[in-house]
Structure 1
Amino acid sequence: MSDFSVRLDKWLWAVRIYKTRSDAADGCRNNKVLVNGAYSKPSRELKPGDTVTVKKMPVTYTYRVLSLVSSRQPAKNVPEYAENITSQEELDKLNMPRQTIFVQRDRGTGRPTKRERREIDGLMEEMYREETIEDES
């Protein structure tokens, strides 16, 4: 099956990395997909052996192209076409406890004002910065 070429967006959709082909194309256009370490257009032709990196927050997945396919495959057939070589460190990010903040608002006060929204965003940003500093140490 590897005697033909397949577009990147079509392959990403066929091996179930994205739900739709247009989602795959948008991911490429928004620099969320790299092929062999370089950002790629949706029309890029793939070859077996290429490494495809997909950024889906919070994890950056890495796949090796084993074979080319242009039609959507059942999940059980995906390992024939793509090998998931994502590092364990990245996969562990999926199991991290999600820290959520619930901001209490009194009933009937309506939506936050622009000023209140900026204060909430500032608080969230500050907490995120503290979290990343802790991760680096």
Structure 2
Amino acid sequence: MRVDKYLWCLRYYKTRSLATRACKKGSVKVNGESVKPARDVYPGDSVECRKNQINYQLEVLDLPNSRLGAKLVDIYRKDTTPKDAFEHQELLQYSKKYYRKKGMGRPTKKDRRDLEDFTNDNDI
């Protein structure tokens, strides 16, 4: 089965064209090598795909016939993604929420001046 179709079947990407685009950009690796979308995967291969600043690592257990329901995904792959990758993503979200809440609009003059003061202090 093609690697882009495999990742689409396992619901890592919403559409097959997104999975194909990720392969072309080099975000998908099979056994440590960047691959083209048409590369076949076999049971026992290790696949790594980067999505939303997280490197998902999975091992191919079996090949599905078609796209699966979310509950059946674990039959066909073994997720070996380290937990600290998800913790790093949570820390990034907290740091973004700390400064400005979503929907607060454009930065104010005070925000711009604070930013300029901060960057000017670091130049000295």
Tell me whether 1:74 sits opposite 2:69 in the alignment.
yes
Amino acid at match of 1:92: E
Tell me whether 1:65 sits opposite 2:47 in the alignment.
no
Out of 11, 16, 28, the residue aligned to residue 6 of structure 2 is: 11
Deviation of 1:57 (Å): 2.9
Amino acid at match of 1:104: P
Deviation of 1:88 (Å): 1.4
What aligned pairs does 1:1-137 form with structure 2 within 5 A after superposition?
A: 6-98=1-93, 99-100=95-96, 101-102=99-100, 104-105=107-108
Deviation of 1:19 (Å): 0.6
Deviation of 1:105 (Å): 3.3
Deviation of 1:97 (Å): 4.6
Separation of aligned partners in 2, 1:75 and 1:49:
21
Name whichever structure is richer in helix by fraction.
Answer: 2
SS in 2 for 1:86: coil
Deviation of 1:21 (Å): 0.5
Separation of aligned partners in 2, 1:69 and 1:96:
35
On the 8 A contact 1:58/1:93 being kept in 2, the answer is no
In structure 2, stretches of 5+ residues that fail to align are 101-105
In structure 1, stretches of 5+ residues that fail to align are 1-5, 107-115, 127-137
Residues 117-136 of structure 1 show CA distances to partners (whole Å, capped at 9, x for unaligned) of xx99xx6xx9xxxxxxxxxx
Q: Which runs of 4+ in 1 moved over 2 A?
A: 97-106
On the 8 A contact 1:10/1:70 being kept in 2, the answer is no
TM-score of the two chains, using structure 1 as the length reference: 0.69
